[in-house]
Structure 1
Amino acid sequence: MGVSGCGKSNLAAHLSEKLDWTLHEGDDFHPQENVEKMAQGEPLTDEDRFPWLLRLHEVIQRERCSGSDALVTCSALKRLYRQIMLHGSRAFDHDILPPVAPDVFFLFLHGDYSLIHQRMVARRGHYMKADLLRSQFDALEPPLDEENVLSLDISKSITDLGTEVEQHIIGLKSSPVVL
């Protein structure tokens, strides 16, 4: 998770190959209207995002039910968005939901605005325009530790970030489960 241009897709592809986990690219689940809106330089509203986040929740649930390990890329800029991904439509109806699911963790890719803007200007063929980056930083609610998150500094190489994630996974699997 993280703002557009932070490297979610690159890191996820690296991890998918290295860990042999299925990768679900969140952008592929956007309705066409969202893609067109972003391509025109118009930021998405919460109402635009909710159906997309519910689709990602379905993907996550399907993977969890199958017992598979998988990666899902998504900006997940706000806590509510992360709650929708974990709990689906229940996130709209409940004030108090667990901030985490024990078998799901977030990777928060964070970095300097100018670095990410520079990356976005340089990339080709993506509908998300660099002009929208400021709106993403404005909307960003960095995840709290209680949300089962590993924060990753994008100034590091993909290889180094991948190693951090692998060490985190090893730590999670070796930790005792407390009931």
Structure 2
Amino acid sequence: MIVVLMGVCGCGKTSVGQALAEKLSWEFADADLFHPDVNKQKMSAGVPLTDEDRYPWLRKLHTLICSWASEGRSGVLACSALKKSYREVLTTGQVPQDPSTSSVSPRIPHQHSDSPRPNVLFVYLKGSKDVVRSRLESRTGHFMPAGLLDSQFLTLEEPDESENSVSVEIAQPLMAVVMDIYQIIVELI
């Protein structure tokens, strides 16, 4: 099983992910480490990423997910995955078509994957803007400034019933969040 911890910046994806992966003895990866430098520079400058910026990054993460799945390994990935289309790229590797032109984005070729869709559970780390903002303002050494939080909430499409997902409230201590997710996973595997 692959667990993707998703949500806006500052919701605790990395902290929860590291603790959860340790508890499960699974691999952990932080999607932020897969961003190209140009994306990190944009975010550091307070410029929100576009879909065009995100799709190559998401495709790299899809490759990671598929490698874990094909090798029979379980993993925890901390990744914002803010839009449903981003979560689709993570699970299928396919970039959505541009509705205005009825074609796939010209910068990223459309690829069909012959491999089976990996078993991915999206865990939405849900919190109010106030809770997340207070966490972001106390965080140091990260390229994502608190000023981009509003754009993150504007971009966010909460998972719906059509997706393999659960929501966990983050307005509780870190280990309580980890244990909530752990219990969900234990029931599924």
TM-score (norm 1): 0.89
2:66 counterpart SS class: helix
Measure the CA separation in 2 of the matches of 1:171 and 1:115.
29
Equivalences for residues 90-101 of structure 1 within 5 A: 91-92=96-97
Aligned length: 167
2:141 counterpart SS class: coil
> For residue 169 of structure 1, what is the amino acid of its counterpart?
I
Q: Out of 117, 129, 153, which is 1:113 matched to?
A: 129
By how many angstroms is 1:145 displaced? Answer: 2.4
Measure the CA separation in 1 of the matches of 2:183 and 2:137.
32
Equivalences for residues 1-179 of structure 1 within 5 A: 1-89=6-94, 91-92=96-97, 103-173=119-189
By how many angstroms is 1:163 displaced? Answer: 1.4
Q: Structure 1 pair 4/90, CA: closer, same or farther in 2 (3 Å)? A: closer
Any gaps of 5 or more consecutive residues in structure 2?
1-5, 98-103, 105-109, 111-116
Measure the CA separation in 1 of the matches of 2:174 and 2:137.
19
Match of 1:176 in 2: none
Measure the CA separation in 1 of the matches of 2:145 and 2:55.
21
2:15 counterpart SS class: helix
Measure the CA separation in 1 of the matches of 2:95 and 2:187.
30
Q: Percent identity?
A: 41
Structure in which a larger fraction of residues adopt strand: 2
> For residue 26 of structure 1, what is the amino acid of its counterpart?
A
